[in-house]
């Protein structure tokens, strides 16, 4: 009898321990349960109950665009609403600052680290440090080129798809023919790389009479967008029929350059950009921008929802896409009032 009781007790304890162990960095489409090769156990024995204050570290890129400001406001605003203890860091577009921020979050023993990586490469060491400390990482917005077991999930846009949508819009505007210039985002960032690839893929496969004659980075900022567009105009002047900008801010900077050069943006040079910030709608209403492909920055609610799920030991998919549309000049005035960013 004693032997039977001891066996039952051991079995129950083993089951309880397995249930309590909180797993992070779960692979795609799997539950965050322990004992898989791609999972690690955190130092906390039990899942954090929903009513316990979450402590979250967020390593933001900077404030390079209207989009980024909206993203930051969403992350901060939602934390306040939910009573989350948010430790927020602005890296001023420098990877080394984001790495420092992650190390400081590890030292502060936060529950989860969120990061929008400025560039894709160079994260493995510091992500591994977080994993070793039992702190899960969630990628918000941009991707990082690391093994999948070093982060739990990525929440954000399909940048390649945005590039493809932009190409289709540009082809319609140009009637399938013409010379275009491209303003790329930050070199090495997932948003710039994928928007470039997606756009190029569609143009090359479907619209051979459209040529991308110049392509250069404007670093996602208005100032650089203007500067690079000035250089494009100087070298290629009236030979440019279209501009594809990887974000609205660079397009808005370029619009200024085009006007100063004496051409009409939106008419002489058709413009397609990405983000769908309010500034783009204003430019469309003024007839200076033709199309903006949406990239949703309001990621705060999804981010904290995922953080809570991780802390509860619930399953989280490896990629959580944002829903996005395409906005054109024709409907911009009607669309603007309902825009949130
Ligand atoms: O990663 C998203 C991109 O970053 C936005 O499109 C751009 O505006 C921002 O700076």
Domain harbouring 148, CATH code: 3.40.50.2300
Residue 65 lies in a domain: yes
What pLDDT is recorded for position 237?
Answer: 87
- Tokens for 186, please give them: 């930050």
Closest CA to 271 of 204, 66, 279: 279
**pLDDT at residue 47, as a whole number:** 54
| CA of 246, closest atom in ligand 1 | 6
Residue 339 lies in a domain: no
Decide: 270 and 87 in contact? Cβ < 8 Å: no
**Domain assignment of residue 187, yes or no:** yes
30 assigned to some structural domain: no
Count of structural domains within the chain: 2
152 and 168 share a domain?
A: no
Residues 169 and 209 in one domain: yes
The number of the ligand 1 atom at minimal distance from the alpha carbon of 275 is 6
Angle between helices 248-261 and 278-285 (to 10 degrees): 30
CA of 274 to the centre of ligand 1 (A): 8
Task: Give the nearest ligand 1 atom to 142 CA.
Answer: 1
| Ligand 1 mean position, distance from CA 246 (Å) | 8
10 Å CB burial of residue 221 (0-12, 13-18, 19+) is buried
Atom index in ligand 1 nearest the CA of residue 66 equals 8
Q: Is residue 45 part of a domain?
A: no
Residue 116 CA: nearest ligand 1 atom is 1
End-to-end CA distance of the chain: 69
pLDDT score of 26: 34
The answer to whether the CB of 150 falls within 8 A of the CB of 131 is yes
DSSP secondary structure of 119-151? SSSS-HHHHHHHHHTT--EEEESS---S-GGG-
Q: 213: CA distance to ligand 1 center in Å?
A: 24
In a domain, 329, yes or no: no
- 291/302 same-domain check: no
Q: What are the structure tokens assigned to 136, written together?
A: 């899960």
Q: In this predicted structure, what is the pLDDT of residue 328? A: 98
Ligand 1: which of 59, 63, 65, 189 to mutate, most ligand atoms within 8 Å of CB?
65
Longest alpha-carbon distance in the chain: 96
Residue-level pLDDT at 21: 32
Q: In what order do the strands lie in the sheet with 178-184?
A: 210-217, 178-184, 242-245, 270-275, 291-294, 326-328
Give the CA count within 13 Å in the CB-facing half-sphere of 102. Answer: 27
Kindly list the protein residues whose Cβ atom lies closer than 6 A to any atom of ligand 1. Answer: 64-65, 67-68, 141-142, 191, 220, 247, 249, 274-275, 295
Same-domain check for residues 142 and 219? no
| Same-domain status, 142 and 217 | no
Domain span at 88: 55-157+298-323
Same domain for 137 and 230? no
Q: How far is the CA of 241 from the centre of ligand 1 (A)?
A: 25
The verdict on residue 40 lying in a domain is no
- Residue 289, classed as helix, strand or coil, is coil
Q: Per the domain annotation, does 149 fall within a domain?
A: yes
Residue 270: C-alpha distances to residues 179, 267, 285 (Å)? 11, 6, 14
Which among 61, 68, 186 is the best mutation to test ligand 1's pocket, defined by most ligand atoms within 8 Å of the CB?
68
**291 and 171 assigned to the same domain:** yes
With residues binned 3-state (H G I as helix, E B as strand, rest as coil), the percentages for the chain, rounded to 5, are 45, 20, 35
Do 311 and 289 lie in one domain? The reply is no
**Cα 49 to ligand 1 centre (Å):** 34
Atom of ligand 1 nearest to the CA of 248: 8
Segment-wise mean pLDDT, segments of 10 residues, the chain, 341 residues = 39 35 32 30 46 91 98 98 98 98 98 98 98 98 98 98 98 98 98 98 98 98 98 95 98 98 98 98 98 98 97 97 94 96 96
202 and 88 in a common domain = no
Domain co-membership, 94 together with 108: yes
Q: Are 131 and 201 part of one and the same domain?
A: no
- Asked whether residue 251 falls in the same domain as residue 272, the answer is yes
Distance from Cα 307 to the centre of ligand 1, integer Å: 23
């Amino acid at each position: 009898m004693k032997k039977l009781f001891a066996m039952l007790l051991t079995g129950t304890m083993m089951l309880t321990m397995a249930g309590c162990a909180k797993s992070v960095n779960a692979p795609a489409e799997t539950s965050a349960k322990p004992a898989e090769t791609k999972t690690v156990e955190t130092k906390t024995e039990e899942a954090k109950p929903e009513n316990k204050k979450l402590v979250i570290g967020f390593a933001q890129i900077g404030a390079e665009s209207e989009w980024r400001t909206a993203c930051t406001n969403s992350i901060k605003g939602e934390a306040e609403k939910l009573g989350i203890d948010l430790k927020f860091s602005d890296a001023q577009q420098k990877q080394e600052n984001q790495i420092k921020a992650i190390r400081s979050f590890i030292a502060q023993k936060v529950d989860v680290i969120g990061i929008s990586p400025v560039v894709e490469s160079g994260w493995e060491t510091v992500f591994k440090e977080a994993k070793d400390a039992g702190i899960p990482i969630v990628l918000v917005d941009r991707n990082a080129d690391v093994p999948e077991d070093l982060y739990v999930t990525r929440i954000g846009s399909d940048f390649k798809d945005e590039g493809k949508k932009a190409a289709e819009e540009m082809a319609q505007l140009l009637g399938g023919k013409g010379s275009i210039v491209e303003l790329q985002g930050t070199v090495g960032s997932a948003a710039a790389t994928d928007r470039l690839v997606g756009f190029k893929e569609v143009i090359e496969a479907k619209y051979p009479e459209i040529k991308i004659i110049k392509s250069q980075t404007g670093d996602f900022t208005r100032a650089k967008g203007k500067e690079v567009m000035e250089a494009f105009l100087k070298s290629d002047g009236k030979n440019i029929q279209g501009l594809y900008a990887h974000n609205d801010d660079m397009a808005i900077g370029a619009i200024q350059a085009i006007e100063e050069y004496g051409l009409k943006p939106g008419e002489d040079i058709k413009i397609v950009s990405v983000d769908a910030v309010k500034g783009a709608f204003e430019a469309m209403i003024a007839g200076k921008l033709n199309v903006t492909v949406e990239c949703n920055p309001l990621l705060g609610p999804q981010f904290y929802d995922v953080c809570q799920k991780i802390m509860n030991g619930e399953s989280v998919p490896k990629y959580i896409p944002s829903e996005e549309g395409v906005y054109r000049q024709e409907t911009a005035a009607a669309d603007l009032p309902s825009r949130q960013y």
